[in-house]
Amino acid sequence: MGKSIITGSLVTYNNRLSDVDNVLLSIENSTVEIVLIILDNSSNDILQAHLQNKNCVYIRSESNLGFGRGHNVCFERANQLNSEYHFIINPDVYFDDYIVKSIVDKFINQDDIAVIMPKIVYPDNKTQYLCKLIPSPADLILRRFFPFGKKKHDYKYELKFVPDNIEFEPPMVSGCFLGVKTNFLIKIKGFDDRFFMYLEDVDIIRRLSKHGKIIYYPSVIVTHKYEKASYKNLKLFSYHMISAIKYFNKWGWFFDSERRKVNNSIKKEFQL
C-alpha cells in the first residue's frame, strides 16, 4: 500500500507574515509530506510576493470569501490531489514535526474517526479549553455579556470537568487545527457558505459527526495564539452575531433535540 496523501489548508486575510512563516516552517519540518494549500483573501499582494519561493499551493481570491468558503476552495484542490487526510489550519498556530504523522496514524489505526483535534495550548503552554458543549443561545449570550458568571458557566460549557489529558469524544471542538478525512469533507460539501466567519466550525463538526467520531487527542499538542478578535473589534463582533443568528435559524434556537441529547450524554458520562 502506498503512502497516504496529506493536505492542509490555510485561509489568510492580511495576516502577519511571521505567523504564516510559522505555519510554513511547521509544515516544512513535518516528518510526513504535507501539501499546504493557501487561499489568500488579502486586500493586497504582499503575501503573494512573500510566498513566491515557498513550497505551497497559492490561490489568490478576487474578493474576501471569508473563512469557510476559502477553505472550501482548498478542499476542492485537495480532492483533485487525491488527498486522504486534510488539516484545517489557522494562520496563528504552529506545531512540532511529529504532530501530523501522529494524527494520521491515529486515523489509520482507528477507522471509525472522522475528526481529530489535538490538545491546543497558548504560547505559554497553558491549556486552551476548546472542547465544548454544543452551544445554545444562552451560552453565547452569557459568555459575551455577563462576565461575572463566566467562570461558573464555562466550567460546564468548556468541559473543564473532563481532565485535559485524557482522550474522549467531545460534543464540539474548535476549527483552529483539525485533522479530517478528506472524503468526508467532500461528502458534506465542506463548510456552509452562509457563514462568512464564526460558528462555521460548530456547524461543520455537527455534520461531520454523522460520519464518524469526533476525537480530542491530547497525546499531541499544537500551539495557538488565539487572540479572540471579535471581543476587540466591532466589525468582527457584528460578523459573530450575524453568524449566530444564521446558525440558530438552521439548527434551532430553543428546541434542538440533538443538542440536548449530545450535551446530556457527555455530562452523564463524566457524572456531572
Count other C-beta atoms under 10 Å from residue 242's C-beta.
16
Q: Is 48 exposed, middle or buried (0-12, 13-18, 19+ CB in 10 A)?
A: middle
Tens of pLDDT, residues 129-161: 999 999 999 888 887 777 677 788 899 999 999
Tens of pLDDT, residues 89-124: 999 999 999 999 999 999 999 999 999 999 999 999
Q: Is 146 exposed, middle or buried (0-12, 13-18, 19+ CB in 10 A)?
A: exposed
Sign of CA dihedral 177, 6, 77, 212: negative
Tens of pLDDT, residues 176-215: 999 999 999 999 999 999 998 899 999 999 999 999 999 9
Count other C-beta atoms under 10 Å from residue 45's C-beta.
10
Sign of CA dihedral 29, 35, 40, 41: negative
Q: What is the DSSP string of 26-86?
A: HHHH-SS--EEEEEE--SSSHHHHHTTTSSSEEEE-SS--HHHHHHHHHHHHHHHTT-SEE
pTM over 0.85: yes
Please give the Cα distance from 156 to 264 (Å, whole number).
11
Tens of pLDDT, residues 158-182: 999 999 999 999 999 999 999 999 9
State residue 237's pLDDT score: 84
Check whether 269 has a pLDDT greater than 60: yes
Mapped to the 3 state alphabet, what secondary structure does 171-189 carry? CEECCCEEEEEHHHHHHCC
Residue type, 126: K
Q: Which residues, at least 6 apart from 91, have a Cβ–Cβ distance to it below 8 Å?
A: 10, 11, 12, 15, 16, 19, 20, 23
C-alpha cell recorded at residue 15: 495576516
Please give the Cα distance from 269 to 89 (Å, whole number).
30
Q: How many residues does the chain have?
A: 272
State residue 1's pLDDT score: 47
Tens of pLDDT, residues 20-66: 999 999 999 999 999 999 999 998 999 999 998 888 999 999 889 99
